[in-house]
Chain A
Amino acid sequence: MKRDIIEIRWHGRGGQGAITAAKIVAKATFETGFPGVVMVPTFGTERRGAPVFTSLKLSRERIYDLSPIEYPDIIVVLDHLLLEEGDIIKGLKPGGLIVVNTPRPPQAYSFNGMVVAAADVTHLANKAGLPQGVVNTGIIGAFAKASNLSDMDTLTRVIEEEFRGRKPKENAGSAIETYEHTVIGGLQ
Chain B
Amino acid sequence: MQIIESGNVAAALGVKLSRAQVIAAYPITPQTPLTEKLSEIIEAGDMTAEYIPVESEHSALAICIAASSAGARSFTATSANGLLYMHEQLHWASGARLPIVMCVVNRGVGAPWTVWNDHQDSMSQRDTGWIQIYANDHQQIIDSVIKAFALAEEVMIPVMVCYDGYLLSHTYMPFDIPEATLTDSFLPPYRPAYCLDPDEPANLNTVTLSDVRTDINGVKAHGYMEIRHLLQQDMLASMDAIERVDSRFKNIFGRGGSPFIESYRSDDARFIAVGIGSLSYHLRDVVDDLRDEGISVGVMSMQLYRPFPYQAVAKALKDCQGVIVFEKALSYGYQGPVCSDIKSALYHYVGPEGSRPFVLNYILGLGGREILTKDLYEGLKLSCTTKPSSPDKPRWIGLKL
Contact = CB atoms under 8 A, between A and B. Distances in A.
Interface of A: 1-2, 23, 26-27, 30, 35, 37-41, 43-44, 63-68
Contacts of B124: none
Given A44-B116, A64-B284, A1 B373 contact: yes
Contacts of A39: 4, 171-173
B171 A41 contact: yes
B116 A65 contact: no
A39 B377 CA distance: 23
Contacts of A63: 173
Contacts of B371: 67
Given A27-B4, A67-B282, A67-B372, A44 B172 contact: no
Given A38-B171, A44-B166, A65 B4 contact: no
B281 interface: yes
B112 to A, nearest CB: 14
Contact of A65 (B30, B115, B368, B373): B373
A64 B4 contact: no
21 contacts: A1-B285, A1-B286, A1-B373, A1-B374, A1-B377, A23-B172, A37-B172, A37-B173, A38-B171, A38-B172, A39-B172, A39-B173, A41-B170, A43-B116, A44-B115, A44-B166, A63-B173, A64-B282, A64-B285, A67-B370, A68-B370
Interface size class of B (residues with CB under 8 A): 20 to 34
B199 to A, nearest CB: 48
Contacts of B370: 67-68
B340 interface: no
Nearest to A38: B173
Contacts of B281: 64-66
Contacts of B170: 40-41, 43
B192 interface: no
A66 B174 contact: no
Contacts of A67: 282, 370-373
Nearest to B173: A38
Contacts of A2: 285, 288
Most buried by B among A1, A23, A68: A1
Most buried by A among B29, B170, B374: B170
B167 A26 contact: no
Given A43-B166, A44-B116, 5 more contacts: A1-B285, A1-B288, A1-B373, A30-B174, A65-B282
B34 to A, nearest CB: 16
Nearest 6 interchain pairs by C-beta: A39-B172, A64-B281, A43-B166, A64-B284, A40-B171, A38-B173
Interface string B150-171: 0000000000000000111011
Nearest to B167: A66
A43 B370 CA distance: 11
Contacts of B56: none
Contacts of B289: 1
Contacts of B125: none
Most buried by B among A27, A63, A64: A64
B282 A66 contact: yes
Contacts of A65: 281-282, 285, 373
Interface string B256-296: 00000000000000000000001001101110110000000
A113 B281 CA distance: 35
A67 B286 CA distance: 13
Given A44-B115, A66-B167, A67-B370, A26 B172 contact: yes
